[in-house]
Amino acid sequence: AADAVRRTGPATVLVTSVIVDDTPDDALDLVAVSDAGAWRIRTPRLAHNPQGAGDLTAAVFLANLLDGHDLATTLARTTSSVFAVVEATHESGAREMRIVQAQDRLADPRMEFAAEPVR
């Protein structure tokens, strides 16, 4: 599906909340695709889906690309930072992302995810 989107113009596509055949019930995948390849990261699935997670993901992903990171590093840094804020929001019980309150976690996540090549 990401390749179909790329054929319409975007050079890089990020897909969040991906569930494929090998995704465990307690996990979600994120996939990033570009000419450089396709990368996936699997995260634990939290029972909380706060408002603003997609916006934060897009912003952090773009910031990392503009900083010159390769696709795998961009995906890993984005996932680690956003997961940290989602986790903090989940712990607070809030519906909207706690970006300001979790800014330390955003900059220095507790858990670091690594991207694995899909192809």
Structure tokens at 3: 């390749």
- Residues 85-111 pLDDT 10s: 999 999 999 999 999 999 999 999 989
Task: Please give the DSSP secondary-structure letter assigned to residue 46.
Answer: P
**Domain of residue 98, CATH code:** 3.40.1190.20
Predicted local confidence at residue 54, as pLDDT: 92
* Number of domains within the chain: 1
Q: Which residues pair with 117 in a beta bridge?
A: 39
Mean pLDDT of the region 22-35 = 92
Domain that holds residue 27: 2-117
Mean pLDDT of the region 12-40 = 92
Predicted local confidence at residue 31, as pLDDT: 95
Q: Give the span between the Cα atoms of 97 and 90, in whole angstroms.
A: 9
What is the C-alpha R_g of the chain? Answer: 14
86 to 13, 16, 91: CA distances (angstroms): 22, 14, 9
Q: Is 89:97 a contact under the CB 8 Å cutoff?
A: yes
Residue 37 region by backbone torsions, left for phi larger than 0, else alpha for psi between -120 and 50, else beta: left
- Residues 38-92 pLDDT 10s: 999 999 998 777 889 999 999 999 999 999 999 999 999 999 999 999 999 999 9
